[in-house]
Copies of this chain bind each other. A is one copy, B any other.
Amino acid sequence: MKFNKHLESIKTYEAGKPIELVVREFGIEPKDIVKLASNENPLGCSQKVQDAVSAIVKNMALYPDDSMIKLKAGLSKRFDVEQKNIIIGSGSDQVIEFIIHAKADENTKVLVNSVTFAMYEIYAKHVGAQIIKTASQEHNLDEFYDLYKKENPSIIFLCTPNNPTGDAIDAADMMSFLEKIDEDTLVVVDGAYMEYAKYADDKKAVEPKELIEKFKNVIYLGTFSKAYGLGGMRTGYGIADELIINELYKLRPPFNITTLSLEAASVALEDEEFVNKSIALNFEQMKRYKEFANEQKLDIIESYTNFVTLCLNQNQNSTKLADDLLRRGMIVRDLAGYGMNAIRVTVGTSEQNDKFFELAKQYL
């Protein structure tokens, strides 16, 4: 059977190894496995959210409220924007998918950072769009501007803080950059880790309200998967001018969020205490990674997120290190696939980080 030609160039995405597989493959007890590979919140999720979801498990039989009124009201209040400026996706991933399908095709180009979130490129390939990448590892807005002028992309993705490197763009620099972009180019500001950046440094804080008031061609993305501790519930959002939201809404499948996810995210927004505690723990524990990198004479990228990127020395090999750690039940992300001799480690609880330091020392 013949399929659409774009599929020929797409490889099936392989996600990181789930804990279950490590258990079977290496005979390690689940309790001895530490997963610091997916930037999940090491504190789990808010007890209030757990209670609220437990209280409505019966409702699993009922289709979700497709107007998503409760969650939209919560986000509207949280960001001081109107509900018509919001679209909810099954993870912010799905909003990225809507954006690509609304604005890209085999005749257009998509501009991304050299090292950044893999899904931009994956979705762009789904429609056969051409990917243009900058050269620098960190976002360099001058490079972005030069490529924008030269290549005329239909979409530009800025990921701040960036995954998988952890660096962030100064908000003021970004605003200056956006002023130079024509209004028919859609700029995506992916703030999946913005809650962390905001806590770490005011200068990195991007406010969706300010963004969409100034620019009709910018969409801000956020997620409940990181600081809000709901990685398993697949809920993210986009905030933009109403005209953009209306177009993306045309591509949204009905009922794209589960009934329990809607409740979980709505209640998560109300428990700021949990989020603040999570972020405070994160940066307290991150100091230990900086000390560790210093001791081990490794470069560490200044991180505004809940993970650190440890750059190895020439005589070390990130793939081997990640594999050695995996065999001991410590799951981290090898960045060799991004062209970096580095590993990305989620900042865990104090105990999880202890274990990482202890094991990593043995293999470095």
Q: Which residues does A use to contact B, with CB under 8 Å? A: 1-4, 7, 10-13, 15-16, 18, 20-21, 35, 38, 40-41, 43-45, 49-50, 53-54, 57-67, 69, 90-91, 93-94, 97, 101-105, 119, 123, 126, 183-184, 186, 216-217, 225, 229-234, 243-244, 246-247, 249-261, 264
Contacts and interface: CB of A to CB of B under 8 A. Distances in A.
| Copy total for this chain | 2
Contact of A260 (B15, B63, B90, B258): B258
Which 5 pairs from chain A and chain B are nearest by CB?
A232-B259, A15-B66, A18-B65, A10-B250, A44-B61
B62 A232 contact: yes
Contacts of A233: 60, 258-260
A254 B233 CA distance: 13
A10 B251 contact: yes
A91 B13 CA distance: 20
A217 B2 CA distance: 10
A235 to B, nearest CB: 9
Contacts of A101: 4, 126
B12 A246 contact: yes
Given A244-B1, A251-B126, A259-B232, A63 B50 contact: no
A314 B217 CA distance: 51
B103 A186 contact: no
